[in-house]
Amino acid sequence: MKNIKNMAIKIQSTNYEIEIGSILTSSFYDLITNRYQNRKKIIMVDENTHDCCLEFLITTYDSLSEAEVILIPEGEENKVMEVCLQIWSALSEFNISRRDLVINLGGGIITDMGGVIASLYKRGVNFVNIPTSLLAMVDASVGGKTGVNLDHFKNQLGVFSNPIAVFVDPSFLSTLPLSEVKNGFAEMLKHGLIADKNHWDVLKCMLPSEDIFGEKIISESILIKNQIVLSDEKEKNERKKLNFGHTVGHAIETYFMSSENTIKHGHAVAIGMLAESYLSNYKKLLSDNELKEIETTICQHFEIPDLAQVDSNVLFEIMSNDKKNFDSKIQCTLLKEIGVSLIHQEISFVEVNLSLEYLKSLKH
Amino acid sequence: MKNIKNMAIKIQSTNYEIEIGSILTSSFYDLITNRYQNRKKIIMVDENTHDCCLEFLITTYDSLSEAEVILIPEGEENKVMEVCLQIWSALSEFNISRRDLVINLGGGIITDMGGVIASLYKRGVNFVNIPTSLLAMVDASVGGKTGVNLDHFKNQLGVFSNPIAVFVDPSFLSTLPLSEVKNGFAEMLKHGLIADKNHWDVLKCMLPSEDIFGEKIISESILIKNQIVLSDEKEKNERKKLNFGHTVGHAIETYFMSSENTIKHGHAVAIGMLAESYLSNYKKLLSDNELKEIETTICQHFEIPDLAQVDSNVLFEIMSNDKKNFDSKIQCTLLKEIGVSLIHQEISFVEVNLSLEYLKSLKH
């Protein structure tokens, strides 16, 4: 393969670039062929990217023909330290040094977990992210958070560690089922709600089917997240805005994780955004009209799960263990209006209960 | 306890201070009483510090009376991710938030492993190190390296992560047996050999018994390491000097780790320094006289282990997996003269063999 003139949209993050567009026109070729010439490459894949994306990469780039491929089994239950340990042993057997390169090719589980694996192995091997799901493109691959789950708590273990580059190629989205596209769509809606009414206004008229996700709208969404991250990399203040929908959403996701009816992250965040928009309205921040607008948009795309049997005590306990809390109080991000969010808003057990009742009312 | 005027020697490292002297006169009181007022404190101890140091801390400082204490079992075999996982589950059960404080009270295993535990839990809880062994004081607690072992390879997993403060109180050394003091003495000798002939000249006349280790000589040794770390935090070049004695030493330590005759880290480094001084002389860098001086000094304090049965192929394989290598070549630090070291020196299988023969010759 020859290097083609670089045409991708570039977004500068902390100390690396995010390139959006065809990977063929990105700097990926130069990176693996020149900067990492004679270095070993390790490609982390999940079952889906193993079948749908890996062959394209390996046959396109000569310098990947001898890459070691590591398959990480699907599912949140495998996003744990025990699986990382198996992979670290494999890297050690492959004699991978800290000058080699890890390539994370997959959705959020691969980029989160591959980030942990690379960042801890010999105190840090460089890695690049090639997110293949919409969720990983607009969310997981930007911001330097890596993580694995612990005892059913999501992303409890990890480090802040940046990839050396991120390549966002929307053509990989054609491999995804609609439910996976919606998973990322929820985070895009969130970016609009917390920080950019224009982004929200564009998205609310869209249908999250694969063909509408082009470079432009994805870039806009990444740009919003990136700006927030740049202003507060370690999540002391501003970055907490990105947690909108995640306090209730994470709890619902975690709650269902141990049941048969698991809920995808984006779906849970969409439900969480409904609950937290309701609380924003309940606390006299968000207007009735805007709550209605959010409700209509989200319910158009996301089904409310059956919450009749959900024990709100358990949900509250999960929230209490959230990384974002301190002083044992539950802290969440609420909306002042569409496009404007407020961090450090306390919510009580009674309010959690009210938001659950609200969600149940939407179901009927 | 009242706050006492701060009298400790202070060394400024990257973004934290190392205070050397009685902990009673350090800023530790202010830290736990004011900065971490109303925050939970978790004290990591090993069996030795649990019995010898913990009570002193807890009874001296009121704000530690309700601290959670986590006992990490002794031994390199417990310095592994599997044990970290148990501790993370415990932290999660204690509802520890990322605003709380981890206090690592112990030797190098506690500071290395406590660093990993704190740095990964919820993507990072602040921690302080209170090293209680000479090795941890002069080596492990300075420089931001954290780590645990993987499949008998030492410190293969970890991150660069700095404590918010280090408190070096030499009075804790009175709890140590002489073999443990020697363990740290080896690293002090190394600091002299690689970067400071004056430090070496003072140390070579000392006997490593507990009563001679005062604040001054410990401070000098820490200062040497700190200066090297400051010039190259991520170990790209200059910091590799600190690996002198560790290429052969680590391999010998790892080799014996799976046998009944385990060798302490400092002991292994002392043997490694002999081997690598020999190689420095063999490669026409170090003079015969200086090799003799190093040999006499080290052999006065450290016994050469029985290497008759050691398989040099296995030793070489362990070295090949060293974090410091690249391009599958073994890289080590050698001495040009006492106080002057050279990084990126390649050594061959034949040379490893020669150095083993040299060590065996010293035994007889």
Q: Please give the ipTM for the structure prediction.
A: 0.89
Identify whether the C-beta of residue A187 lies closer than 8 Å to the C-beta of residue A139: yes
Question: Where in chain A does DSSP place strands (E)?
Answer: 9-12, 17-20, 41-45, 68-71, 101-106, 126-131, 148-150, 153-157, 165-168, 330-337, 340-347
Beta bridge partners of A9: A20
Q: What's the one-letter identity of residue B362? A: L
Residue B321 Cα, gap to closest chain A Cα (Å): 6
Using a CB-CB cut-off of 8 Å, the residues of chain A touching B147 are 123
pLDDT at B4: 45
Separation between Cα atoms, residue A49 and residue A283, nearest integer Å: 44
CA distance B10 to B6: 10
| Mean pLDDT of the A191-211 span | 89
Segment A233-247 mean pLDDT: 92
pLDDT tops 90 at residue A153: no
> Mutation test of the interface with chain B: which of A120, A323, A327, A329, choosing the one with the most B Cβ atoms within 10 A?
A120
Is pLDDT of A279 > 50? yes
Q: What is the pLDDT of residue A254?
A: 86
In B, minimum Cα distance to A93 occurs at: B321
pLDDT tens for each residue of B246-305: 999 999 998 888 778 889 889 999 999 999 999 999 999 999 999 999 999 999 999 999
Both tokens assigned to B70? 């986590």
Query: How far apart, in whole angstroms, are the C-alpha atoms of residue A155 and residue A139?
Result: 14
Token readout for A360 is 């149940």
Q: Are A120 and B160 an interchain contact pair (Cβ–Cβ within 8 Å)? A: no
Residue B358 above 60 pLDDT? yes
Instruction: Please state, in angstroms and rounded to a whole number, the distance separating the CA atoms of residues B341 and B348.
Output: 19
Question: Which tokens hold the place of B158?
Answer: 């970890």
Q: Which residues of A touch B155 (CB under 8 A)?
A: 123
Nearest CB among B159, B321, B327 relative to A120 is that of: B159
Taking the model in full, what pTM does it have?
0.90
Taking each helix axis from N to C end, the angle separating A178-195 and A265-282, rounded to the nearest 10 degrees, works out to 30
Q: Can you tell me whether residue B199 is helix, strand or coil?
A: helix
| Residue whose tokens read 């969130």 | A190
Q: With an 8 Å Cβ cutoff, are A160 and B99 in contact?
A: no
Residue percentage of chain A with pLDDT more than 70: 95
CA angle B159, B163, B169 (to 5 degrees): 130
Instruction: Specify the range with the lowest mean pLDDT, choosing from A23-37, A97-111, A148-162, A307-321.
Output: A307-321
Rounded mean pLDDT, B7-35? 93
Contact between A159 and B124 using a beta-carbon 8 Å cutoff: yes
Answer yes or no: are the C-beta atoms of A68 and A43 closer than 8 Å. yes
Tens digit of each residue's pLDDT (9 = 90 or more) over A103-134: 999 999 999 999 999 999 999 999 999 999 99
Residue A7: its pLDDT value, please? 60
Chain A, nearest residue to B94 by Cα: A321
For residue A306, what is the DSSP state? -
More confident residue, B331 or A148: A148
Query: Which run of H or E residues covers position B70?
Result: strand B68-71
pLDDT, position A12:
94
Tens digits of per-residue pLDDT, A250-262? Answer: 999 988 887 788 8
Nearest Cα to A50, choosing from A122, A118, A104? A104
Mean pLDDT is lowest, of A111-125, A169-183, A243-257, B29-43, for A169-183
What pLDDT is recorded for position B233?
A: 87
Q: How far apart are CA A127 and CA A16, in angstroms?
A: 11
Give residue A210's pLDDT.
Answer: 53
- Across chain B, mean pLDDT equals 91
Give chain A positions within 8 Å (CB) of B82: 85
A1 has a pLDDT exceeding 50? no
Q: Which residues of chain A neighbour B153 with C-beta distances below 8 Å? A: 92
- Tell me which chain B residues have a C-beta less than 8 angstroms from the C-beta of A121: 156-157
How high does pLDDT run on average in chain A? 91
Residues of A in contact with B127 (CB under 8 A): none
Q: How far is B242 from chain A (nearest CA, A)?
A: 16
Q: Which residues of A touch B99 (CB under 8 A)?
A: 326
pLDDT tens digits, one per residue of A62-96: 999 999 999 999 888 999 999 999 999 999 999 99
Residue B1: what pLDDT?
A: 39
Over the Cα atoms of chain B, what is R_g?
Answer: 20
Residues A334-347, mean pLDDT to the nearest whole number: 96
Q: Is the Cβ pair A150, B120 closer than 8 Å?
A: no
Query: Which pLDDT value is given to residue B324?
Result: 64
Has residue A17 got a pLDDT over 70? yes
CA distance A70 to A68: 7
pLDDT digits (tens, 9 = 90+) for A73-82: 988 899 999 9
Instruction: Name the residue of chain A whose CA is nearest to B329's CA.
Output: A97
> CA-nearest residue of chain A to B117?
A157
Q: Which residues of B touch A (CB under 8 A)?
A: 38, 81-82, 84-85, 88-89, 92, 95, 97-99, 119-124, 145, 147, 150-151, 153, 155-161, 320-321, 323, 325-328
What would the pLDDT profile of B102-139 be if each residue is shown by its tens digit? Answer: 999 999 999 999 999 999 999 999 999 999 999 999 99
Write out pLDDT tens, residues A315-339. Answer: 888 888 766 665 567 889 999 999 9
Specify the pLDDT at position B152.
Answer: 78
What is the per-residue DSSP string for B157-204? E--B---SEEEE-GGGGGGS-HHHHHHHHHHHHHHHHHH-HHHHHHHT
Q: For residue B217, which of B202, B230, B207 has the smallest C-alpha distance?
A: B202
Look up tokens 């894949």; give the residue: A45
Q: If interface means Cβ-Cβ distance under 8 Å, which residues of chain A face chain B?
A: 38, 81-82, 84-85, 88-89, 92, 95, 97-99, 119-124, 145, 147, 150-151, 153, 155-161, 320-321, 323, 325-328
> Does the pLDDT of residue A314 top 60, yes or no?
yes
At B267 the pLDDT is 94
Q: Which residues of chain B neighbour A95 with C-beta distances below 8 Å? A: 320-321, 328
Angle formed by the axes of helices A312-320 and A246-257, to 10°? 120
Q: Give me the pLDDT at residue B364, please.
A: 67
